[in-house]
Structure 1
Amino acid sequence: MLAKSGRLADARGVFAEMPERDAVSWTVMVVGLNRAGRFGEAVKTLLDMTADGFTPTQFTLTNVLSACAVTRAGAVGRKVHSFVVKLGLGSCVPVANSVLNMYGKCGDAETASTVFEMMRVRSVSSWNAMVSLNTHLGRMGLAKSLFESMPDRSIVSWNAMIAGYNQNGADAKALEFFSRMLHESSMAPDEFTITSVLSACANLGMVRIGKQMHAYILRTVMAYNSQVTNALISTYAKSGSVKNARRIMDQAVAADLNVISFTALLEGYVKIGDIESAKEIFDVMNNRDVIAWTAMIVGYEQNGRNDEAIDLFRLMIRSGPEPNSYTLAAVLSVCASLACLDYGKQIHCKAIRSLLEQSSSVSNAIITMYARSGSFQWARRMFDQVCWRKETITWTSMIAALAQHGQGEDAVGLFEEMLRTGVEPDRITYVGVLSACAHAGFVSQGKRHYEQMQNEHQIVPEMSHYACMVDLLARAGLFSEAQEFIRQMPVQPDAIAWGSLLSACRVHKNAELAELAAVRLLSIDPNNSGAYSAIANVYSACGRWSDAARVWKLRKDRAVRKETGFSWTHVGGKLHVFGADDVLHPQRDAVYGMAARVWGQIKEAGFVPDLQCVLHDVDDELKEELLSRHSEKLAIAFGLISTPEKTTLRIMKNLRVCNDCHTAIKFVSRVTDREIIVRDATRFHHFRDGLCSCKDYW
């Protein structure tokens, strides 16, 4: 009685003082410990019982086998099974089912199958145990075969199949089995059925069926079941109906809500870009798991709030759970966006210490981080260290990295190596390859790979591929071919394609075609300030100042704000941002002093300012002064006064670097004996000894 009521301490006291014990008293203690969840003690009590010379009963054995199943104590379970055999209880259905369940829960499918085959009498529970075992092992074909062979089925049988399909990624099959259950049996779904079906609806984004299930739930007592409530919240949140998810959460009893519901709603808000609501949910969560922390970091990263993402990750390191591979991949993506090489290296070290470096998502993120931070050599080193058979995404990341850094020949070579190893490229791989050809001027190779993509790999071109081909032809000055390619496209060119053509027109000073490209671009994206700047630049380069002024007036009349150009660099663990004619930086006097000194040095070395890069009709002296204060030149000047000699400078810019700055930085790299790496809106430029990695083809 004491054991049944949960008063185990009192029961133990009485048991210890008993002058004589029998099999019943021992069994009562085993059963009581098992019911209280003290499985290890239950198993030990059985061992003490046998050591004391008592023979376990059927009830003793089923309870101990249940404890072994819960604790996955397969070795002990085998010993208990030997008791069963010795006592001749193998034919007792409850005992045999307990043995079968124990082996199943311990993952010993082979022994479980042997026990099942040897059972002379099989109950529904016997069949259910085998069905559940195979669904947990992902052997859905075998599970279905067993299910179809069952002479009788219970709700547990149906639930095992529905949950099995759901947990093994076959959500459509889960819903199909649920429909079959409704039509073939008279059984009503229980909370376990409903939660599996809701999970399948969430994964498939089938909010309509989810709403039907919700309506059914409201007509039953399950409306008050916490497990069902949490499943409903997750279903609505994952299906994009965050308002419905939030309404259910607000109506629920707080104690009934679990971390999965909060995390699902948080992820739902992140998915629709409502970061403030996501943060509100995150802040009220008492027990944040690694998924919640990661979802919030991803939310900040996807919405450009990179500093907050880094701050939250640092807080997670101090007081949260241990980051997993997805967390590290997200933070590495933030470092890539900010070109924060030093912090990215710290995350790489953490990945090594956490044994996560070889995770596919982490290793690919490391490659991208190094590449976008200006260190493609480190990216290549990481690529070469990947131990397992490299996936398509790994090859694609490295090809894209080489393309961005102007290593077109290496990018194409790596792509050819990828094909030789038997890895199948995808559409994103070909974007990297075609981009590499475009930036390197490999016109014939680019055309060949474009045809190969379609004919050998059956990849249907998308807008990104068309834009790459337009860029390839236009950069090479093949404007007639580029126009013909655009005319033959099966879809209308997007803003990127017209923008590529417009940029090439600026380089080749083709005013007539630039006008056409600008008109088409602005018809798609009227607020694209870059289009106004590009066409005005072409006019200015051609000396058509009145036309350039007309474009600027048109932009002003249409209230299109010019995108502000700025450059940034990381020095001493801090981010330093500069705009043109920047006056806000605390070291502005020293920065301008160094900028003026270097400007004088490069002019003495033969640099001639490109006054055509100034889009205003002002005198040459003012043009030169304006050019000397471009944001990237100020960022470089800051780097020169803030770092030791010969230190590589890494400068990031949000817009395309102008021709004057490109030429000037080549001279700066020579007179200062520095390597200067500049990432602009389209690619990386590595300046060293007066030369640039792009070979002036950009």
Structure 2
Amino acid sequence: MPERDAVSWTIMVVGLNRAARFGEAVRTFLDMLADGLAPTQFTLTNVLSSCAATEAGRAGRKVHSFVVKLGLGSCVPVANSVLNMYGKSGDAETARAVFERMPMRSVSSWNAMVSLNAHLGRMDLALSTFESMPDRTIISWNAVIAGYNQNGLDAEALRFFSRMLSDSSMEPDDITITSVLSACANLGMVSIGKQVHAYILRCGTPYTCQVTNALISMYAKSGSVENARGVMDQAVVDDLNVISFTALLEGYVKLGDMERAKEIFDVMSNRDVVAWTAMIVGYQQNGHNDEAIELFRLMIRSGPEPNSYTLAAVLSVCASLACLEYGKQIHCKAIRSTQEQSSSVSNAILTVYARSGNLPWARRVFDWVRWRKEKVTWTSMIVALAQHGLGEDSVGLFEEMLCVGVKPDRITYVGVLSACAHAGFVDQGKRYYQQMQDMHGIVPEMSHYACMVDLLARSGLLSEAQEFIQQMPVEPDAIAWGSLLSACRMHKNADLAELAAEKLLSVDPDNSGAYTALSNVYSACGRWNDAAKIWKRRKDKAVKKETGFSWTHIQNRVHVFGADDVLHPQRDAVYRTAAKMWEDIKKAGFVPDLQSVLHDVDDELKEEMLSRHSEKLAIAFGLISTPEGTTLRIMKNLRVCNDCHTAIKFISKVADREIILRDATRFHHFRDGLCSCKDYW
């Protein structure tokens, strides 16, 4: 155009704004000013709309200055646009000042202030502004209902919706229905959700995409997955999108029905990161760790870029399996994608290293993120140090946590009390137990009581532990009685063991560990007849003994071993190595602990049974599958027995290997014939 007037520029600004090309609209407006042309009210309202859409508060303030210079502040459409711009930019104070100076306040002005305060979570101001309105529209009611819903005040959202139906003539629209159904979903109130669904059918509210998604999500989150599936089957295909399918998928995941969840996932044509993450989290939460890792690998190859929730979930799988190498790879990916800065990801990385036995790297991650002063990070490190037998370091870090002003919670105290129990710090444990209540107002829970019983019992204070249990204000659980029973075995107190076992079985009749522990006590005291009676009693009650197994992760594969394992493809080589290892450590001075065998058989057979415990077979496999000097990392689902603990100390010295064993209660770091637990476990 050879000549451009204000109308031409305004048409371009309006067109770009309506085409959602907001940045270009703002730049065109600035070029218009550079041409020396004065904007009209239509130019200003549209460019302010573009600033609001992009939350460009800085550019919006410049436009506002032109509004003032041109004397258009009293123009209602322009003033409303200024108000909306500040609201969308999150500048509540300036928005309020603009609102107070408006000579005439339209309904849209009032609605803008209600929406702004509700969006920022200032529900008291939103409600007081709503109550002051001379006229209310459906937008006014929706702003308050949505504000309550989005700020976690779902019960208030439902009450306000009820008030809308009873106190006004307003008919809810699809936005109202969507917020109300979201509140029902968050509260798990499927009965009210069904009433809203019935209202939709009765009043003929249009089944928009938003309403359909909200109904599916409400039913799925409330556990009524079949109802959610029914809504989906009846919906118009064009109204179904990734949100609908993901909501249904998450409903099946919540029920643990991963097969149906996978069916939904497979038919989704456009899977976003939320759908992929939902499936991975579902596999992880339901114990399908291999499937979770395989799906994550597929996502890396052909899916969207994983977000922090995805990485945290798959890192949790790595921690469960102690897959250190794969955990390192994901750590590298988190660094490259800057997701490492996410609290959930960094804490998950710390946990992977800690649960894989690599405490130095766990500490390195902690030192990198500790400046955030998040209690979950401090707690994770305190627990990790305790599990690795570093009681002094765990307690020291707890004291440092208090000094820097990070307030501990109940889980932190479980960690530090556990550290005291594993290290034998009886007096400190008692002090922390009291401090938890007096200084931080934390009411003890069963986990804290169990830690105190464990602390006293491990230290040989069995009578005091029994007295503590009797004075507990709640009924002791299986963990508390189990801790006392385990200590009775250690200190060979058969009478108290009988009491603890009976109490444990009264709480958990199918607890095979109670029979095993009591039998161990009798065996340690040479009471073989009593031990046999316990085994017969277990057999008569058809209580299955928990099978012990160990596993190790080598060359991207998990290798699992049971006692006397005959299923492993390299069993012959494993048994030859295990036999040689047994003879070598005996020559080095190792004496088998025959009392660790619970069967009354001859000593030669006892020794053969001991040599084939699952952790010894896993170590033998590690010795033939890794280069010399490589650290071996072994996991076991049960507590390591006395014989294996002593044997592994000798193996670490004879084979010149560091061996890290994670059993059901803690880590043991074996090196040069010594264990990090100092034989106190």
Superposed counterparts of 1:428-443, under 5 Å: 428-443=411-426
- Alignment match of 2:192 (pick from 204, 209, 220): 209
SS at match of 1:357: helix
Q: 1:138 to 1:600 in 2, by over 3 A?
A: same
Q: Which amino acid aligns with 1:522?
A: L
Match of 2:75 in 1: 92
Structure 1 93/450 Cα, relative in aligned 2: closer, same or farther at 3 Å? same
Aligned to 2:437: 454
Shift of 1:91: 3.0
Deviates more, 1:584-593 or 1:633-642: 584-593
Question: 1:673 aligned to 2:659?
Answer: no
Q: Which residue of 1 aligns with 2:547?
A: 564
Q: Report deviation, 1:271.
A: 2.4
8 Å CA contact 1:223–1:229 kept in 2: the answer is no
The percent of aligned pairs where both chains have the same amino acid is 83
**Relative to 1, partners in 2 of residues 1:592 and 1:183: Cα closer, same or farther, differing over 3 Å?**
same
The one of 397, 402, 410 equivalent to 1:414 is: 397
**Which residues in structure 2 correspond to 1:268-667 (within 5 Å)?**
268-667=251-650
Structure 2 letter corresponding to 1:301: Q
1:128 aligns with one of 111, 134, 137: 111
Deviation at 1:658, TM superposition (A): 0.8
The code of the aligned residue for 1:607 comes to F
CA distance 1:601–1:28, change in 2 (3 Å):
closer
Give the equivalent residue in structure 1 for 2:130. 147
Across the aligned residues of Structure 1 and Structure 2, the Cα RMSD in angstroms comes to 2.7
Amino acid at match of 1:225: T
CA change 1:28–1:472 in 2 (3 A) is closer
Q: What CA distance in whole angstroms lies between the structure 2 residues aligned with 1:33 and 1:383?
A: 49
Distance (Å, rounded) in 1 between the aligned partners of 2:12 and 2:440: 68
Where 2:550 maps in the other structure, the secondary structure is strand
Segments of structure 1 that go 5 or more residues without pairing to the other structure are 1-15
Mean Cα deviation higher: 654-663 or 594-603 = 594-603
How far, CA to CA, are the matches of 1:41 and 1:420 in structure 2? 52
Moved more, 185-194 or 50-59: 50-59
- Residue deviations 1:495-541 (CA, integer Å, cap 9, x gap): 11121122112222222222222222222222222222222222222
1:219 aligned counterpart, secondary structure: helix
Letter in 1 for 2:651: V
Q: 2 CA distance for matches of 1:590 and 1:296?
A: 39
**Offset of 1:64 from its aligned partner?**
4.7
Q: 2:176 aligns with which of 193, 196, 201?
A: 193
State the 1:454 CA deviation.
2.0
- Equivalent residue, structure 2, for 1:173: 156
Stretches of structure 2 that go unaligned for 5 or more consecutive residues are none
CA distance in 2, matches of 1:690, 1:50: 81
Give distance in 2, aligned partners of 1:85 and 1:425. 52
- What's the CA shift for 1:410? 1.5
How far apart are the structure 1 equivalents of 2:60 and 2:433?
Answer: 61
Question: How many residue pairs are counted as aligned between the two chains?
Answer: 681
In the TM superposition, what is the alpha-carbon distance from 1:26 to its structure 2 partner? Answer: 7.6
Shift of 1:186: 2.4
Cα distance, 1:461 vs structure 2: 1.5
Per-residue CA deviations over 1:48-94 (Å, capped at 9, x if unaligned) read: 88899987655555445434433445566566656655665443322
Q: CA shift at 1:223, angstroms? A: 5.2
Between 202-211 and 611-620, report the one with greater CA deviation: 202-211
Amino acid corresponding to residue 110 of structure 2 in structure 1: W
TM-score by length of 2: 0.93
Q: 1:593 to 1:136 in 2, by over 3 A?
A: same
Task: Indicate the SS of the match to 1:246.
Answer: helix
Does the residue aligned with 2:231 lie in a helix, a strand or coil? Answer: helix
Aligned to 2:660, the other structure's residue is in SS state strand
User: CA separation in 2, counterparts of 1:583 and 1:544?
Assistant: 32
How many Å separate the matches in 1 of 2:29 and 2:398? 64
CA distance in 1, matches of 2:478, 2:585: 38
Q: Please state how far the C-alpha of 1:183 moved relative to its aligned partner.
A: 4.0
Shift of 1:580: 1.3
Residue 676 (structure 2) pairs with residue 683 (structure 1)? no
CA-CA distance at 1:660 after TM superposition = 0.5
Supply the distance in 1 between the matched residues of 2:370 and 2:284 (Cα, whole angstroms). Answer: 29
Structure 1 residues 391 and 64: CA distance shift in structure 2, 3 A: closer
Change (3 A) 1:671 1:257: same
* 1:233-252 matches, cutoff 5 A: 233-252=216-235
CA contact (8 A) 1:222 1:228 kept: no
By how many angstroms is 1:136 displaced?
Answer: 2.7
2:243 maps to 260
- More deviation, 344-353/65-74: 65-74
1:452-495, Cα deviation, whole Å (9 max, x unpaired): 22222222221111211222222222222222222212222111
Task: Specify the SS of the correspondent of 1:667.
Answer: helix
In 2, are the aligned partners of 1:653 and 1:680 still within 8 Å (CA)? yes
